[in-house]
Amino acid sequence: MRSENIYRMFGVDERIAALVREEEDRLQEHFRKIDETAEYNQLKVIRAMQENGISGACMLETTGYGYDDFGRDRLEKVYADIFRTEDALVRSQIVCGTHALTVALFGNTRPGDEILSPVGMPYDTLQTVIGLSGARGSLKEYGVGFRSVELLPDGGFDFEGIRATINEKTRLVEIQRSRGYSARRTFSTAEIGELIRFIRTVKKDVIVMVDNCYGEFTETIEPSEVGADMVVGSLIKNPGGGIAPVGGYIAGTEECVGRAAARLTGPGLEKELGPSLGNNRLLYQGIFLSPTVTAGAVKGAMLAAAVYERLGYPAAPGSSDPRYDIIEAITLGSPEKIISFCRGVQRASAVDAFVAPEPSPMPGYDSDIIMANGSFISGSSIELSADGPLRDPYTVFFQGGITYPHSKLGVVMSCQQMLEDGFLEL
């Protein structure tokens, strides 16, 4: 039975329901390929859990120092196996993706070193960490420099520019996989591998770190399998499966992970400390669910692209393009349309559906941001959400949905709100 009848209960115009249904039907072959990727990754996760002997005892709570928390320690072995790395740091004490990146960067650089971004400027909050905004406690205050090389006009890597920028001070190369709030595309694991191999020809011993946020499980391999020394992400994005209440991960070489752990806890303490506080079950179950949750979010993003392309709005990636993260960027062209879109997504939420999002300043960003996020976990962007800065070209970023039907409802309700506000013609 089709869901058009129940969409009427949400006040959805029948023309919108029909348009979305048509685009959904057209995408079925793409959806099948997404499901194949999810199946592969699901089995990879289950195998890692079996190989590490995960049991009910791994779910028990620890407090205080967290000494001998074998559930936490085995979870980190599971992550290391999934990402094919020597070691991993997976902790509730890491509060977001930017915090995980901060720990990795501070742990693996020293005064006088330089960080290089070969994919242009990183997203806004990481610019704050680097020290480009004058925020307290930045890497710049500790004498760590930063350089970036912009992408070529066609979106490719400027290999000669990268070669000319790497120098004796270049300690760490930071590759942001996803787009952030920029117009550039997300990079595939194969492209990242090509970039890493080139960097190694210029400076063999440089540390390569990949900001993997939003990209986990969208492919059957991860950047750590093509040469990255560290991959870093947030547990309230893909790998938390929508149920991890907090946390972040750093997976990579034993040396890099150890230095990051020393920054998180303290020199000599490293991974020995850090209580699970009753979160182990949620973190295990989150990584277990992640492949299928991520697949649902990818399908929702693809549907959003197809529908808004049909309505005349540029979408990136396009509805038939390969996908390497869960984010869909839709250029709406005005602040009023971004606000309308986000309010529609909020109306699709199970939590706080009655709230009308308003643009406001946000720490780490240089323009007002609007966010629609009626989530069970505060700020979770693997759950249905939409956000964007109110700046030209006025692009909204749609992502998440623990289930595909919820992602689909987000697309439907964004269209409905845009229609009611006079921004769509059907």
How do residues 117-169 score in pLDDT, each as one tens digit?
Answer: 999 999 888 999 999 888 899 999 999 999 999 999 999 999 999 999 999 99
- Percentage, residues of the chain above pLDDT 90: 91
* Separation CA 222–CA 190 (nearest Å): 9
60-286, CATH topology level: Aspartate Aminotransferase; domain 2 (3.40.640)
More confident residue, 66 or 367: 66
Q: What is the model's pLDDT at position 4?
A: 62
- Residue 317, preceding peptide bond in cis (omega within 30° of 0): yes
Q: What is the model's pLDDT at position 39?
A: 98
pLDDT at position 243 over 80 = yes
Look at 61-75, 100-114, 329-343, 358-372 and tell me which has the smallest mean pLDDT.
Answer: 358-372
Give CA 326 to chain center in angstroms: 7
* Separation CA 352–CA 330 (nearest Å): 24
How do residues 70-105 score in pLDDT, each as one tens digit?
Answer: 999 999 999 999 999 999 999 999 999 999 999 999
Instruction: For residue 360, give the DSSP letter.
Output: B
Query: Which of 409, 344, 348, 350 lies closest to 370, judged by CA?
Result: 344
* Separation CA 226–CA 421 (nearest Å): 47
3 band by pLDDT with thresholds 50, 70 and 90: low
* Separation CA 276–CA 280 (nearest Å): 6
Q: What is the model's pLDDT at position 183?
A: 76
Domains 4-41+288-420 and 60-286 share a fold: no
How do residues 387-414 score in pLDDT, each as one tens digit?
Answer: 999 999 999 999 999 999 999 999 999 9
* Separation CA 299–CA 304 (nearest Å): 9
Instruction: For residue 111, give the DSSP letter.
Output: T
* 354: its two tokens: 């009655």
The domain segmentation of the chain, as residue ranges, is 4-41+288-420, 60-286
* 344: its two tokens: 């529609």
* Separation CA 42–CA 28 (nearest Å): 21
364 band by pLDDT with thresholds 50, 70 and 90: low
Q: What is the model's pLDDT at position 346?
A: 97
- Which value, in Å, is the radius of gyration of the alpha carbons in the chain? 21
Q: What is the mean pLDDT of the chain?
A: 95
Spatial strand order of the sheet with 315-316 comes to: 315-316, 328-331, 395-399, 385-389, 369-372
What does DSSP say about strands 170-176 and 230-234: parallel, antiparallel, or unpaired? Answer: unpaired
pLDDT winner (highest mean) among 4-8, 301-305, 354-358? 301-305
Instruction: Provide mean pLDDT across the span 107-116.
Output: 98
How do residues 269-307 score in pLDDT, each as one tens digit?
Answer: 999 999 999 999 999 999 999 999 999 999 999 999 999
Q: What is the model's pLDDT at position 295?
A: 98
CATH of 4-41+288-420, one of 3.90.1150.60, 3.40.50.1360, 1.10.340.30, 3.40.50.720: 3.90.1150.60
CA 277-282-287 angle, to 5 degrees, is 130
How do residues 190-228 score in pLDDT, each as one tens digit?
Answer: 999 999 999 999 999 999 999 999 999 999 999 999 999
